[in-house]
């Protein structure tokens, strides 16, 4: 199924294309069949119902209804029919008995089927015969809107259907003389010879072509709410005009201007009440969209007017010319507000910052300049493109896009700091636009190539054609694609069959490998079992060893504690031994001194006994000496006992220390 889905898609596209061609052809045939003309449909009714009073001979009320030219002149009350406008057609109100005197007089109003024919004729543009061209209604269908820079309510304006086939196919693409992107919808308009192509910027799909028989479009701009597309252009040295199209239907709403040369710059005011235009005739003209009348003729420029734009708030109008002139006007009065001097080359484009406080201008001198609107002071200027800046535009978030002679498009911050360059254009850049809905930058060049980039990384996403093919050519492409897809499908089917065979062989081989692997696995399992048992025993032994090791560690910790205690006790014993030795040495010294004293006393006693008979006092002294000797002897014995006890204790301590 995956191989067939592309074919299904192409077949579906082919069917849809054929359906579109058939639908378009049927619509054209239906339109031709429904064309109501004066000569074929209305004149017989007028002759039968009104001819007796309103003919070339009688002319009642000075009105003739059996001759087209005389009928259009009207009667004593002026014109009686207005193309496309029943309410303004006096004759219609009379024959429907909505006004007096009712016609025909003193008779019922015309049958409904006859009234329906006259109604279609008026709404169809008062066609004289089948070869006539319908007249545009004098009353404008353009409604005044509130000025706003916010997103309009509801879905964004997009073509409701395929707008139409290409009007002209040229052998080579025309230079891109005009380019615009809708402010609120993923929609781009590209100029072509006698036509304008509309593209969906999400997938770069052609949505249809608007005819511009006036010639080459040189300016394209969407209205501030995106519902209308302004196109201005014409034929060099011959004629120029501005047309407003309904974006949803492709209908031509109004046209203004009857220039004797191209329209190079034009714009629709934010409230949709005025259209300003200019060109090689150096005259800036402002027209009313309600009546088509000329409101202002502004004479200031000394060379071709190349750029025109209303401020977003509708208060001011800027215009630039080929001789570096840059003028700001009061939009409603036409009075000059500022004359801005600074550029040394042609002013090729102008654009307003969304807040209307700053005007940007692009020039052939290579610079972009920013002008403050309180006093016309230049607040910024920078070199943007070598070879001149051909086009520029403010993005709705305040960023700026430009292109020019260096074959590069650029994105800038609002203060002129560069963000990113977009290269790859085959020729000199002429037009640039930024689609804020899809974050894409679009630029057209001298060769007719319209390149689309991703704004985030400057990756080229594709191109748009200023010379799109007809439906028949598109159908041929679809058919060729279908044939190629069919061939590819057959090749893919054959490849799929070969791959299927290889897959079957591979599956069989994999089965054999799987069986061998399973056998090897069983053998390995048999070998692994005793090893697993040994592993289990080893793990158990290791666990027991871990338990024993833990117990040994506990014993070692206890032994270390005992060792520390013994070390402390040994230190105490050693100190006691030292003290005992010191006491023993002191006692030994005292004993030696006592023995010496006793020997001296005994010697003295012997000497006294030997000398003579003792006196009573001497006898008393002798007795005292004897008593002292006896006491000394007793003390000596006690010291000897103490010394013996100390030596015994020292021996015991030494034995304990040795044992520890």
Please, are residues 40 and 129 in contact by the beta-carbon 8 Å criterion? yes
**SS3 of 495, please?**
helix
Q: Which whole number is the average pLDDT over 624-639?
A: 74
Residue 195 CB coordination number (10 Å): 25
Q: Give the residue carrying structure tokens 């046209």.
A: 255
Q: Is the pLDDT of residue 590 over 80?
A: no
Cα separations in angstroms, 394 against 154, 281, 321, 328, 490: 24, 28, 20, 17, 52
Q: How far apart are CA 565 and CA 487, in angstroms?
A: 100
- What are the boundaries of each domain within the chain? 5-123, 179-469, 474-659
pLDDT winner (highest mean) among 77-81, 370-374, 566-570, 631-635: 370-374
Report the pLDDT value the prediction gives residue 502, as an integer from 0 to 100.
Answer: 82
E strand or H helix at 647, and its extent? helix 616-659
Q: How far apart are CA 436 and CA 399, in angstroms?
A: 10
Q: Give the residue carrying structure tokens 């007017």.
A: 305
Report the pLDDT value the prediction gives residue 16, as an integer from 0 to 100.
Answer: 38
User: 483 φ, ψ to 5°?
Assistant: -65, -45
Report the pLDDT value the prediction gives residue 249, as an integer from 0 to 100.
Answer: 95
E strand or H helix at 190, and its extent? strand 187-192
Q: Is the pLDDT of residue 19 over 50?
A: no
- DSSP for residue 86: S
Q: Is the pLDDT of residue 657 over 70?
A: no
Please, are residues 235 and 216 in contact by the beta-carbon 8 Å criterion? yes
User: 578 φ, ψ to 5°?
Assistant: -65, -40
User: For residue 609, what pLDDT band results from cuts at 50, 70 and 90?
Assistant: low
Report the pLDDT value the prediction gives residue 577, as an integer from 0 to 100.
Answer: 66
Tokens standing for residue 540: 């158990």
Q: Is the pLDDT of residue 219 over 90?
A: yes
Q: Which whole number is the average pLDDT over 322-350?
A: 97
Residue 614 CB coordination number (10 Å): 14
Burial class (CB in 10 A: 0-12, 13-18, 19+), 103: buried
Torsion, CA 361, CA 365, CA 367, CA 370, rounded to 10: -30
**SS3 of 660, please?**
coil
Q: Please tell me the number of Cα atoms within 13 Å of 501 on its side-chain side.
A: 5
Q: How far apart are CA 4 and CA 518, in angstroms?
A: 40
Taking every pair of Cα atoms in the chain, the longest distance, rounded to a whole number of angstroms, is: 216
Q: Is the pLDDT of residue 26 over 60?
A: no
Residue 646 CB coordination number (10 Å): 18
Give tens-digit pLDDT for 386-445.
Answer: 999 999 999 999 999 999 999 999 999 999 999 999 999 999 999 999 999 999 999 999
Q: How far apart are CA 476 and CA 14, in angstroms?
A: 9
User: For residue 606, what pLDDT band results from cuts at 50, 70 and 90?
Assistant: confident
Note the pTM of the prediction, 2 decimals. 0.58
Cα separations in angstroms, 64 against 26, 30, 117: 37, 32, 19
Q: Is the pLDDT of residue 203 over 60?
A: yes
Q: Please tell me the number of Cα atoms within 13 Å of 397 on its side-chain side.
A: 9
Query: 425-444: buried (b, 16+ CB within 10 Å) or exposed (e) per residue?
Result: beebbbbbbbbbbbebbbbb
Q: How far apart are CA 433 and CA 423, in angstroms?
A: 15
Report the pLDDT value the prediction gives residue 5, as an integer from 0 to 100.
Answer: 39
Q: How far apart are CA 244 and CA 266, in angstroms?
A: 11
Per the prediction, the chain carries an average pLDDT of 85
Q: How far apart are CA 595 and CA 629, in angstroms?
A: 10
Span of 416-420, 453-457, 616-620 with lowest mean pLDDT: 616-620
Report the pLDDT value the prediction gives residue 2, as an integer from 0 to 100.
Answer: 36
Q: How far apart are CA 197 and CA 466, in angstroms?
A: 7
Question: Which superfamily, per CATH, for 179-469?
Answer: YVTN repeat-like/Quinoprotein amine dehydrogenase (2.130.10.10)
Tell how far CA 46 is from the center of its chain. Answer: 63
Q: Is the pLDDT of residue 561 over 70?
A: yes
Q: How far apart are CA 433 and CA 322, in angstroms?
A: 22
Position with higher pLDDT, 277 vs 489 = 277
Give tens-digit pLDDT for 477-499.
Answer: 667 777 887 888 888 788 888 87
Q: Is the dihedral of CA 19, 250, 165, 7 positive or negative?
A: negative
Query: 367-402: buried (b, 16+ CB within 10 Å) or exposed (e) per residue?
Result: bbbbbebeebeeeebeebbeebbbbbbbbeeebbbb
Q: Which of 360, 396, 400, 393 is nearest to 378 (CA)?
A: 360
Beta bridge mates, 307: 320
Q: Residues 6 or more apart from 169 whose CB is under 8 A from it?
A: 467, 469, 470, 473
Percent above pLDDT 90 for the chain: 50
Beta bridge mates, 369: 361, 381
Tokens standing for residue 609: 């006994």
Cα separations in angstroms, 383 against 395, 431, 442, 624: 19, 18, 21, 137
Span of 35-44, 86-95, 434-443, 639-648 with lowest mean pLDDT: 639-648
DSSP-derived secondary structure for 205-225: EEEEEEE-TTSEEEEEEE-TT
Tokens standing for residue 140: 């404008």
Q: Is the pLDDT of residue 18 over 80?
A: no
Tokens standing for residue 459: 């990756």
Q: How many residues does the chain have?
A: 660
Give tens-digit pLDDT for 136-191.
Answer: 665 567 889 999 999 999 999 999 999 888 878 888 888 999 999 999 999 999 99
E strand or H helix at 351, and its extent? strand 347-352
Residue ranges with strand state E in 439-492:
440-445, 449-454, 460-465
Give tens-digit pLDDT for 126-137.
Answer: 898 988 888 766
Tokens standing for residue 581: 């030795």
Tokens standing for residue 605: 């006693």
User: For residue 565, what pLDDT band results from cuts at 50, 70 and 90?
Assistant: confident
Report the pLDDT value the prediction gives residue 142, as an integer from 0 to 100.
Answer: 87
pLDDT winner (highest mean) among 3-7, 117-121, 307-311: 307-311
User: For residue 3, what pLDDT band results from cuts at 50, 70 and 90?
Assistant: very low
Tell me the helices (H) and strands (E) count for the chain, helix number first. 7, 28
């Amino acid at each position: 199924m995956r191989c067939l889905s592309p074919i299904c898609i192409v077949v579906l596209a082919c069917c849809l294309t054929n359906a579109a061609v058939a639908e378009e052809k049927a619509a054209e045939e239906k339109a031709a069949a429904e064309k109501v003309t004066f000569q074929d449909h209305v004149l017989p009714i007028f002759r039968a119902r009104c001819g007796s009073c309103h003919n070339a001979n009688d002319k009642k009320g000075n009105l003739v209804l059996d001759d087209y030219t005389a009928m259009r002149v009207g009667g004593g009350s002026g014109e009686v029919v207005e193309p496309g406008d029943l309410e303004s057609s006096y004759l219609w109100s009379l024959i429907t008995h909505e006004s007096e005197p009712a016609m025909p007089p003193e008779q019922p109003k015309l049958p409904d089927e006859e009234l329906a024919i006259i109604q279609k004729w008026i709404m169809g543009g008062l066609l004289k015969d089948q070869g006539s061209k319908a007249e545009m209604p004098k009353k404008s269908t353009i409604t005044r809107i509130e000025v706003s820079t916010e997103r309009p309510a509801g879905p964004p304006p997009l073509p409701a259907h395929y707008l139409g086939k290409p009007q002209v196919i040229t052998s080579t693409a025309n230079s891109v003389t005009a380019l615009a992107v809708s402010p609120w919808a993923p929609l781009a308009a590209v100029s072509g010879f006698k036509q304008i192509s509309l593209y969906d910027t999400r997938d770069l799909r052609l949505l249809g072509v608007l005819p511009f028989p006036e010639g080459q479009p040189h300016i394209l701009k969407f209205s501030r709410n995106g519902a209308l597309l302004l196109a201005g252009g014409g034929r060099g040295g011959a004629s120029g005009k501005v047309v407003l199209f309904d974006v949803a239907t492709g209908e031509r709403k109004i046209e203004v201007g009857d220039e004797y040369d191209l329209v190079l710059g034009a714009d629709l005011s934010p409230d949709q009440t005025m259209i300003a235009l200019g060109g090689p005739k150096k005259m800036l003209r402002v027209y009313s969209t309600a009546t088509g009348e000329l409101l202002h003729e502004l004479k200031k420029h000394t060379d071709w007017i190349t750029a025109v734009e209303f401020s977003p708030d509708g208060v001011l109008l800027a215009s630039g010319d080929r001789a570096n002139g840059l003028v700001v006007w009061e939009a409603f009065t036409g009075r000059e507000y500022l004359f801005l001097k600074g550029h040394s080359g042609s002013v090729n484009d102008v654009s307003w910052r969304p807040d209307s406080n700053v005007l940007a201008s692009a020039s052939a001198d290579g610079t972009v300049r920013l002008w403050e609107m309180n006093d016309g002071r230049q607040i910024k200027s920078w070199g943007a493109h070598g070879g001149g800046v051909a086009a520029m535009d403010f993005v709705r978030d305040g960023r700026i896009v430009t292109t020019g002679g260096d074959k590069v498009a650029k994105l800038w911050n609002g203060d002129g700091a560069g963000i990113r360059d977009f290269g790859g254009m085959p020729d000199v850049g002429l037009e640039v636009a930024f689609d804020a809905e899809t974050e894409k930058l679009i630029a057209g060049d001298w060769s007719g190539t319209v390149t689309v980039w991703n704004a985030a990384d400057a990756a080229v996403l594709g191109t748009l054609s200023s010379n799109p093919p007809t439906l028949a050519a598109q159908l041929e492409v679809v058919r060729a694609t279908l044939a190629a897809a069919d061939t590819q499908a057959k090749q893919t089917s054959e490849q799929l069959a070969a791959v299927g065979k290889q897959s079957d062989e591979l599956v069989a081989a994999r089965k054999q490998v799987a069986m061998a692997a399973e056998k090897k696995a069983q053998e390995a399992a048999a070998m692994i079992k005793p090893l697993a048992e040994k592993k289990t025993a080893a793990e158990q032994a290791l666990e027991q060893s871990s338990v024993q090791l833990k117990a040994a560690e506990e014993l070692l910790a206890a032994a270390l504690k005992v060792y520390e205690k013994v070390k402390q006790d040994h230190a105490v014993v050693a100190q006691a031994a030292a003290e005992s030795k010191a006491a023993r040495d002191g006692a030994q010294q005292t004993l030696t001194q006592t023995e010496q004293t006793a020997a001296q006393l005994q010697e003295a006693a012997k000497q006294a006994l030997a000398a003579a008979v003792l006196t009573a006092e001497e006898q008393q002294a002798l007795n005292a000496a004897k008593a002292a000797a006896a006491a000394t002897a007793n003390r000596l014995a006690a010291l000897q006992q103490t010394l013996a006890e100390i030596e015994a204790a020292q021996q015991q301590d030494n034995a304990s220390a040795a044992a520890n």
